[in-house]
Amino acid sequence: MGDGSVCVNIVSPHPGSRNVFLDLVVGLPAILFLVFLAWRVKPSLRKLRRSQSHIMTTYYGFLWVVTLLNVLRCFVQVAASEATHPVLWNLLWMLTRFGLVMLEVSVVVFLLQGYLTSGREALLRTLWISGGLALFETLVTLLYVFAFHVPLFLYGGGDGQEGHRGVDDDRRWSKWGFWLAHTLVFLLVYTGILILPHTKWRDRLPAKPSFYRYVLILFVLNLVAALGTILLASHVAGGYCIYGLAAFLYYAIYPPLLYLTFLAEFFLDDELDDELYYSEMKEAGYFEDYDDGL
């Protein structure tokens, strides 16, 4: 594939020239986060049952689905061969993207309705809007990939037998123009959120610093990705490494970032409540007989 093949493999996977070690490195963050979710599943489910929060239950369930899809996609890439049908690759990428886009959009839509908004109506409205937008993007990608034969997720060049022509074929405007439009939309949204606290609508968003750290991280990732797509659409090979860095970090850190920003404190409260309850019971002398028996 020419120079920078590692970056090309990250950005545009090619079944005919896979690097198993690279695939494992790229997939490791998703696997580790899945292990973390599995390790914490019992206390998390206990907290969700106690709280009966439809919102937290929904986000927790989505997080599981997206993480499982991400891990499955990584395993398919590791097991890929020349005979691997690209349809499976594309469908797994689309399903993973659908889940991630829906999660991203739902966070913004839900919070714009008013911080700490509760109730099924707000949740359903959020799911309808975010699901509709994610479905729209998925349908557009379906048209691009299967109707217009634009390889949005896979390598779109030749096998590298004719110098750099193969990689040049992958750096087409029809492919990278789509990803540029995608990143610019999210970039504008996150720019607006970062500006909002300095306007008269500042009260519509939470004042928690963790939320703005979440937005700032996604803003930077989309900014780097936009730069990479512009370079690739302009046939600059260095764009692969720039876009590849943003893509790798996005798939690696977005699920954990969402968990740390919105779910970790929710689940931590349950542990603190349990510890406080145990301390109060111990101070009241409920465990004295048990301690004496030991």
* Confidence grade of residue 56 (pLDDT, cut at 50, 70, 90): confident
Q: According to the model, what pLDDT value does residue 15 have?
A: 60
pLDDT at position 275 over 60: no
Comparing 15-24, 142-151, 197-206, the range with the smallest average pLDDT is 15-24
Instruction: Name the pLDDT band for 249 (thresholds 50, 70, 90).
Output: very high
The more confident residue out of 113 and 34 is 34
**Residue 85, in any domain of the structure:** yes
Q: Give the range of the structural domain holding residue 82, as residue numbers without chain letter.
A: 5-264
- With vertex at residue 207, the alpha carbon angle to CA 104 and CA 52, rounded to the nearest 5 degrees, is 60
Please report, rounded to a whole number, the percentage of residues in the chain having pLDDT higher than 70.
78
* Range among 86-90, 104-108, 154-158, 289-293 with highest mean pLDDT value: 104-108
Residue 287 lies in a domain: no
Over residues 245-251, the mean pLDDT reads 92
| Residue 152 domain-assigned (yes or no) | yes
Q: Please give the model's pTM, rounded to 2 decimal places.
A: 0.83
Q: Is residue 126 part of a domain?
A: yes
Residue 286 counted as domain residue: no
Assigned domain for 247 exists: yes
- Estimate to the nearest angstrom the gap between the alpha carbon of 223 and the chain centroid: 16
Question: How many CA atoms within 13 Å lie on the side-chain side of 189?
Answer: 17
pLDDT, average across residues 4-23:
70
Residue 291 lies in a domain: no
Residue 259: predicted pLDDT: 93
- pLDDT reported for residue 283: 46
**194 domain-assigned:** yes
Q: What confidence tens digit (pLDDT) does each residue in 68-83 have?
A: 988 888 877 776 554 5
pLDDT value at residue 16: 58
pLDDT of 101 reads 94
What is the three-state SS of the chain?
CCCCHHHHHHHCCCHHHCCHHHHHHHHHHHHHHHHHHHHCHHHHHHHHHHHCCHHHHHHHHHHHHHHHHHHHHHHHHHCCCCCCCHHHHHHHHHHHHHHHHHHHHHHHHHHHCCCCCCCHHHHHHHHHHHHHHHHHHHHHHHHHHHHCCCCCCCCCCCCCCCCCHHHHHHCCHHHHHHHHHHHHHHHHHHHHHHHHHHCCCHHHCCCCHHHHHHHHHHHHHHHHHHHHHHHHHCCCCCHHHHHHHHHHHHHHHHHHHHHHHHHHHHHHHHHHHHHHHHHHHHHCCCCHHHHHHC
Confidence grade of residue 282 (pLDDT, cut at 50, 70, 90): very low
* Structure confidence at residue 76 (pLDDT): 75
List, for residues 189-239, the tens digit of each pLDDT value: 999 999 988 888 777 777 778 888 999 999 999 999 999 999 999 988 889
Q: Which of 114-123, 210-219, 277-286 has the highest mean pLDDT?
A: 210-219
The number of residues in the chain equals 294
pLDDT at 182 > cutoff 50: yes
* CATH number, residue 205: 1.20.1070
Domain count, the chain: 1
Q: pLDDT-derived band of residue 134, with 50, 70 and 90 as boundaries?
A: very high
The CA distance from 18 to 159, in Å, is: 12
Mean pLDDT of 232-251: 91
Percent above pLDDT 90 for the chain: 39
